[in-house]
Structure 1
Amino acid sequence: MPKLATPLSESHIRSLQPRTTRYSVADGKGLILEIMPTGKKVWRFRYTLDGSRQPMVTIGDYQLMSLRVARARAQKYAEMVAKGLSPVSIARQDRGAEKRVDVLRDAAELYVAVAIARKSDEYRRTTQRALDKDILPAIGHKPIAQVTTEDIQCICDAIKSRGAPQMALHTRNVAKRLFAFLISRQLATVNPAESIAARTIATQDGRTRVLNASEIGTLLHSIYTSSIRRPLKLALHLLVLTMANKSELIEATWREFDLDGGVWTIPASRAANGRTRRVPLSSQALSMLRELRDMKSSRTYVFPSTRGDDDRPIAKGTLNQAVKSLELDVERFVLGDFRRTGLHHLRDGLQSETGEEALVEPYGAVTAYAMQRWADFVETQVGVQPLGKNRS
């Protein structure tokens, strides 16, 4: 029985380096990718017709075609072969219809169609807005190779002059991601937005970032559909629900939790504000903590290290690394934004719905009722079912 090909991924394809002679990697179902000594990558379709192996059909350049589109083309040609028809003429027509990418406007169209087609609605909307409103009107007509750092800087300066420094920073980031995509497709060699430091565009006095409802959903959906370890998924979700400091959570011990009473008592020695703090636990948070307890990983720590024999919590950078691996569609996000986000929604959104004035108590404490309201609100944004044991 022939060995089945391991399906390719965009990240795997980008990592493929040229050799002295051309070589190919298979995606399966007749689709292969040839890598030339020049570094060029070409999609081809391999098939057998009437019992004989036929010359491969060229589907198109990887530069101009995503893995998803190449698979769709290969599927179409496979269906023709199954009917006893040669796909050669149709493949030639398909290639003739492919659009060349010479100027930035065409490159942006390819980026939107290939790189962000499956991103969240909010992500696509804000990206398209930056392209249509500022980037393309200014430099959309320019050949890709002729776009300079000065071009991007001028665009950002113009936006800042409108009194919108954060929008200027967002636009810089869109340009930076666009050119990173073009470099990965060998359609550009340099990223003109790379050398423009964020601090030269917009500065803030401390963090003021608050995640909106869509971003909360995007974040948690990315976490729960990722391949990171289950305890780390729960840790990130608990940061959202408890609004605790990262160190407070990852160094938490089981003796701090009263799961029957639904309270987490953070001792003054560990609390971020230096005072003992009681954190009411929502039903969702309790379910996660019980799942973690049932894992029996440690009698001391809720999130024990998986390295070494000594009983200690995970390293402080573990959650940061987990978040970086997700390639989140949430811009300028850091873990410390969770507490600010929760308090913002409680004060400005959930509080106004209920008419309650005491959802947030003095010194940053939050009532049990508010914490449950917050957890319920978050749960409606996720889009996947995060709770329950034995989930990946």
Structure 2
Amino acid sequence: MPRLAVPLTESQIRALEPRATRYCVADGNGLVIEVMTTGTKVWRFRYSLNGRRQPLATIGDYRMISLRVARAKAQKYAEMVAQGVSPVATARRDRGAESKADVLREAAELYLATEMAGKSAEYRRTTRRALDKDVLPAIGGMAIKAVTADDVVAICERIKSRGSPKMALHTRNVIKRLYAYLIARQLATSNPADVVPARSIATFDSRTRVLSGDEIGAMLRAIDASSIRRPLKLALHLLVLTMARKSDLVESRWDEFDLDHARWTIPATRLNKEQDQRVHLPRQAVSMLRELQRAKASGSFVFPSVRGGDKPIAKSTLNQAVKALGLEVEHFVLHDFRRTAAAHLRNMTQSTDTADETGGQDANQEEAAEQRAQVQGWADFVESQIEGGRKDGVSSV
């Protein structure tokens, strides 16, 4: 019985080096990639017809055809062979239909069709918008290798002149990712956006970074639509709702929560303080915690490590999860959630000096009720930002 080929990955294909003689590596279902002595890589289709092995049918240059597209073509040709039809003529027509990505506009379309295919709807939308609105009108007709850092700066300066420094920086990053992709596919040799420092386009004081309502909604929709583990999605959402420090949340224990009374009491020993800290929980947070409780993987920790042992996830886990998502929120760190919540709460809460001077327990109860109302108001605001984007068709979570 013939040995089945182990499916290839894009990174494995990029790592294939030329040898003294050309050679083929199989992906499966008749699809192989041939590595020439020059380093060029070409997709081929291996098949037999009427019991006889046939010459390899050429699918096309790897630089122009992604692994996903090559597999789709191989499947089509395999179906033709199963019907006793040679795929050679069809493969030749397919190659003629492939546009040569020697100008940036065509390369960008290849990038959107291949690299962006597995990204979230929001990520694809913001990338497409930057390309269509500012990048391609300016340099879309230029040869890939002719684009310079000066061209990138000029695009960013035009966007900044509209009063949108954050969009300018986002657009620079889109160009940078596009060229990184083209370099990986050997369609470009250098990245013109690499030498354009972010600080020359837009700078933010990390101590004053506050996310807008739209950014909050876009971020949480992207997190919900991502492939990261469900507990990490809920942890990131809970960071927004509870306004807790990252370390306080990831190291939280089940015995700290009273979900029936919507309370979380963080022990003073964990805080290195003299008193416990009480956190009022909005109904959305309680719902998420109950979901985590139903799927409880640890008797102690709300967010246990997947590596075993009774210990919580590492403090860096949430940072790594956010970084892996490639979220389109510039100069953002997780601590900004707390600052963002505080800033929005100040805007949402009208200052008042009408509190009764009843003192004692009544005053404490009144203060607790006010805090619960504020926390719930913040959670409702966050929920409205998420749902508003969905209604507008921004993302399908």
TM range (shorter): 0.7 to 0.9
- % identical equivalent positions: 57
- Verify: 1:216 aligned to 2:210, yes or no: no
CA 1:367–1:240 in structure 2 vs 1: closer, same or farther (change >3 Å)? closer
Give the Å deviation of 1:152.
Answer: 0.8
Please identify, of 360-369 and 22-31, the stretch whose mean Cα deviation from structure 2 is larger: 360-369
AA partner of residue 53 (structure 2): R
Unpaired segments ≥5 residues, structure 2: 350-365
Within 5 Å, give how 1:366-377 maps onto structure 2.
Answer: 366-368=374-376, 371=379
- The equivalent of 2:293 in structure 1 is 290
Give the Å deviation of 1:169.
Answer: 0.6
Give the Å deviation of 1:342.
Answer: 6.3
Give the Å deviation of 1:288.
Answer: 3.2
Does the 8 Å CA contact 2:281/2:372 hold for their aligned counterparts?
A: no
- The equivalent of 2:363 in structure 1 is none
- Verify: 1:278 aligned to 2:279, yes or no: yes
Q: Deviations over 1:230-266 (max 9, x none)?
A: 6545433433443422111112233321234332123
Q: Deviations over 1:52-88 (max 9, x none)?
A: 1111111011111122221221121111111101111
CA–CA distance in 2 between the matches of 1:136 and 1:195?
20
SS at match of 2:63: helix
Does the 8 Å CA contact 1:14/1:184 hold for their aligned counterparts?
A: yes
CA–CA distance in 2 between the matches of 1:123 and 1:50?
47
CA–CA distance in 2 between the matches of 1:118 and 1:330?
16
Please identify, of 44-53 and 18-27, the stretch whose mean Cα deviation from structure 2 is larger: 18-27
CA–CA distance in 1 between the matches of 2:240 and 2:293?
17
Within 5 Å, give how 1:113-262 maps onto structure 2.
Answer: 113-205=113-205, 206-210=208-212, 211-222=215-226, 225-226=227-228, 231-262=231-262
CA 1:177–1:82 in structure 2 vs 1: closer, same or farther (change >3 Å)? same
Give the Å deviation of 1:19.
Answer: 4.1
AA partner of residue 287 (structure 2): Q
CA–CA distance in 2 between the matches of 1:28 and 1:2?
12
CA 1:21–1:244 in structure 2 vs 1: closer, same or farther (change >3 Å)? farther
CA–CA distance in 2 between the matches of 1:364 and 1:165?
37
Does the 8 Å CA contact 2:121/2:396 hold for their aligned counterparts?
A: no
- Verify: 1:323 aligned to 2:327, yes or no: no
Give the Å deviation of 1:115.
Answer: 2.0
- The equivalent of 2:361 in structure 1 is none
Does the 8 Å CA contact 1:256/1:265 hold for their aligned counterparts?
A: yes
Task: Answer with 1 or 2: which has the greater Rg.
Answer: 2
SS at match of 1:63: coil
Give the Å deviation of 1:180.
Answer: 0.8
AA partner of residue 315 (structure 1): A
CA–CA distance in 1 between the matches of 2:326 and 2:26?
28
Does the 8 Å CA contact 1:160/1:168 hold for their aligned counterparts?
A: yes
CA 1:51–1:328 in structure 2 vs 1: closer, same or farther (change >3 Å)? same
CA–CA distance in 1 between the matches of 2:158 and 2:380?
45
- The equivalent of 1:355 in structure 2 is none
- The equivalent of 2:84 in structure 1 is 84
- The equivalent of 1:266 in structure 2 is 266
AA partner of residue 375 (structure 2): T
Within 5 Å, give how 1:5-84 maps onto structure 2.
Answer: 5-84=5-84
AA partner of residue 32 (structure 1): V
Does the 8 Å CA contact 1:271/1:277 hold for their aligned counterparts?
A: no
Q: Tell me the TM-score normalised to structure 1 length.
A: 0.79
CA–CA distance in 2 between the matches of 1:284 and 1:377?
18
CA 1:348–1:31 in structure 2 vs 1: closer, same or farther (change >3 Å)? farther
Unpaired segments ≥5 residues, structure 1: 352-357, 385-392
Does the 8 Å CA contact 1:169/1:202 hold for their aligned counterparts?
A: yes
Does the 8 Å CA contact 1:346/1:374 hold for their aligned counterparts?
A: no
| Superposition RMSD in Å | 3.6
AA partner of residue 317 (structure 1): S
Does the 8 Å CA contact 1:234/1:288 hold for their aligned counterparts?
A: no
CA 1:202–1:72 in structure 2 vs 1: closer, same or farther (change >3 Å)? same
SS at match of 1:64: coil
CA–CA distance in 1 between the matches of 2:256 and 2:151?
55
CA 1:233–1:159 in structure 2 vs 1: closer, same or farther (change >3 Å)? closer
SS at match of 1:32: strand
Give the Å deviation of 1:336.
Answer: 3.2
Does the 8 Å CA contact 2:103/2:141 hold for their aligned counterparts?
A: yes
Give the Å deviation of 1:127.
Answer: 2.2
